[in-house]
Amino acid sequence: MSTQCEWCGALLPGESSCQAIHEDLLNFEALNSIPHSIHFLHVTCFLIQHNRYSAEGLAWARSMLATNLKEGMTEEEHFRSLRTSEKTTSSSKRTWNFYRGADEAPLPKIVWTRTIVTIYPHIHDPRMYNEHVRQWSRSTLQDMIEQKVGVAYVED
């Protein structure tokens, strides 16, 4: 019997949870030398879909997804975009938190086209895994655009 994730809405296989799947994917990435750009997309989408970001953090995540999904971006360009972002988002420079506080109201529910459960069957083939993470990221960004989620990016 499948249960549904309360955050992303995915139908979970067996007794699993999205958090357990996320941890399996992290292990797969480490064991298979998955590029950091793919790891970044995976973790960002997981955190977005599981309501872990504050409103400001969500806006940052949306902008970083858009930047990192540019066709042809190399690993070097990916790291450069993270370093550039870090100049304005390091904890000493911002007045907002990346992560949602326990006392903060959750963001509105979003209907996700793809979830982490969609990626899980592909953890045996690194090439296919990379492509499926990219597809998941593109659909997450598109869902955010269509549902007007994470629109304002706050810089201090």
DSSP annotation string for 52-92: -B-HHHHHHHHHHHHHHTSTT--HHHHHHHHHHHHHHHSTT
Cα torsion at 86, 67, 150, 43 (round to 10°)? -70
For position 39, what pLDDT does the model report? 93
Determine, yes or no, domain membership for 155: no
pLDDT of 129 reads: 96
Residue-number span of the structural domain to which 105 is assigned: 3-146
Q: Which residues pair with 11 in a beta bridge?
A: 4
What pLDDT shows up at residue 154?
41
Residue 151 in any domain: the answer is: no
Instruction: Give the Cα separation of 54 and 102 in Å (integer).
Output: 10
Number of helices (H) and strands (E) in the chain: give both, helices first: 6, 2
Predicted local confidence at residue 72, as pLDDT: 65
The per-residue pLDDT for 151 is: 66
Q: Flag whether 116 is in a domain.
A: yes
Give the number of domains in the chain: 1
Quick check: is 95 in a domain? yes
Buried b / exposed e across 87-106, counting CB within 10 Å, b at 16+?
eebeeeebeeebebeeeeee
Using an 8 Å Cβ cutoff, are 9 and 113 in contact? no
Separation of alpha carbons 117 and 138, rounded Å:
16
Please report whether residue 153 resides in a domain. Answer: no
pLDDT tens for the chain, 156 residues: list them.
679 999 999 999 988 999 999 999 999 999 999 998 899 999 999 999 999 988 888 988 898 888 888 766 677 877 677 667 655 555 566 677 777 888 888 777 899 999 999 999 999 999 999 999 999 999 999 999 998 887 654 443
